[in-house]
Chains A and B, each alone.
Chain A
Amino acid sequence: MFVLRQWWNRYALKTGVVVVAVASAWFMRITEGAALYEAYHWITRPIQPDLNREQVLENSYILELQQRIVELENQNRSLREFEDYVDTLNEPGIRARVIGHAADHWWQHLILNRGSRQGVKVGHIVTAPGGVVGRVVAVSSNTSKVLLITDATSRVGAKVSRSRVLGVVRGQSNDRLVMEFFEKDPDVKVGDVIVTSSYSRLFPRELPIGRVEFIDITKSPAPEAMIQLSAPSSIIEWAVISPFDPMESVDDPKVSNPEDNHKENP
């Protein structure tokens, strides 16, 4: 008892400090660092470029021009998807600035300056001038954290817009994605536009992802294609957050793929 009391007299303060430090770090961990991102938001506020109405309109105009260029390049069957793309972008979305990136070297995240106060929820889809960028995985009152489709753990159901060949796109932690096809001999060419497929549960269908840059048809067990993103995530400065409810199950149960159960990110 005496030993215990002596120990307590000596180390009470230290123990208290350790308990407080660990407990507050654990609290941060439970709340997914919301307080930290709020602080980051307020501190970087002066250097965040103001996204006023004029700028928004200007950005929309640039976006429209970019889409027209894509349209001219594309004069083929992907025109239909392209119109869908315009439609999806014209849906009421929340425009947000990119104020930060992942807080370590292994994850591919973006931090946006719009959060639950502006109506952002977990699961919402984030698009940028190049097409789909990722989905919101955490929100605080004024910031949201986006898991990019370039993250190594990300899986998106996708298809070739020209030939409707299905596959799964996964990230590689750089500006290129890999698309694995389900078929042995897919109808795909260099330059084809890749869009999200209707089998994607976490993303709405027919959002553009990128273009085929290189095809490895001999790859085992399934052929693969390298996909070049239209806009590298490192240079994206602003994005649009669109509301989307992740589906619980795929809409068409008639065509089932063995890869179906692990084709989406968690």
Chain B
Amino acid sequence: MTPLISPGKPPFYQQSWFLNTLVTAGSVLLCLLLLPGRIPGIELLGVAPHWLLIWVVAWSVKRTVWEGAIAGLVLGLLQDAMTAPQPTHTLSLIVAGVLTARLQKHRYLQEDIVSIALIVFAMAVIAETVLALQISFDQLLSDGSLYPSLPQVWLYHQRVALSSAILSSLWAPALYYPLNRWWDHRRASGYAQDS
């Protein structure tokens, strides 16, 4: 395999940092544009896969806690932009990114699609729980809260968390596999360049 950076001075669009930025930002954009669509066949009980969560998990699996947290913050802000800033999605995605990075999957678990699906399943449940907790706190702490009563919130949470977790874990490999292949490839060529 030829390394992406050749000894000469290639134009900037052939350099690896540019390609990597393009792939990373492009995949985020793709996930964002998939969010409002309800494509027939990939929704369950009116709930679509949580594409941003899958992206955060794919990003954080082989990265540090800080990198996971920053990815969660950025994608959370983007999702806030597309919905509404309260309850904020930054918190749930940061938690998902940090926990995934803490798992240190490459040390303890074998790399396969099933374990990724399992991580995404768990993180989807956790992310929806963080949102439900925010709503619950708002309900408990402020008098004029517009949110429904706690039993209703948690009943709704059950439905959303379960469908979101099932769908996201099923669709996780579709995003994880190509992205991770790319990042692995880049890491390998990066090390080759250093030595």
Contact = CB atoms under 8 A, between A and B. Distances in A.
Contact of A107 (B48, B50, B84): B84
Chain A CB within 10 A, most for which of B48, B82, B87, B164: B82
Contacts of A121: none
Interface residues of A, number: 40
Interface of A: 18, 21-22, 25-26, 28-33, 36-37, 39-40, 43-44, 99-107, 109, 111, 137, 152-155, 170, 172-173, 234, 262, 265-266
Contacts of A111: 36
Interface of B: 29, 32-33, 35-38, 46-48, 50, 70, 73-75, 77-85, 87, 89, 128, 131, 135, 144, 146-148, 152, 156, 160, 164
Main secondary structure of the interface of B (DSSP, over half): helix
A103 B148 contact: no
Chain A CB within 10 A, most for which of B80, B87, B135: B80
A79 B155 CA distance: 39
A36 B78 contact: yes
Given A22-B74, A31-B81, A106 B36 contact: no
Nearest to A32: B81
A173 B156 contact: yes
A22 B70 contact: yes
Contacts of A29: 77-78, 80-81, 85
A137 B82 CA distance: 12
A101 B36 contact: yes
Contacts of B147: 152-153
A31 B77 CA distance: 11
The 7 closest A-B pairs by CB, nearest first: A100-B36, A33-B81, A25-B77, A103-B82, A103-B35, A28-B81, A153-B146
B78 A109 contact: no
A121 B149 CA distance: 32
A40 B148 contact: no
B73 to A, nearest CB: 6
A105 B164 contact: yes
A39 B31 CA distance: 12
Contacts of A137: 84
Contact of B144 (A18, A25, A99, A262): A262
A248 to B, nearest CB: 18
Contacts of B77: 22, 25-26, 28-29
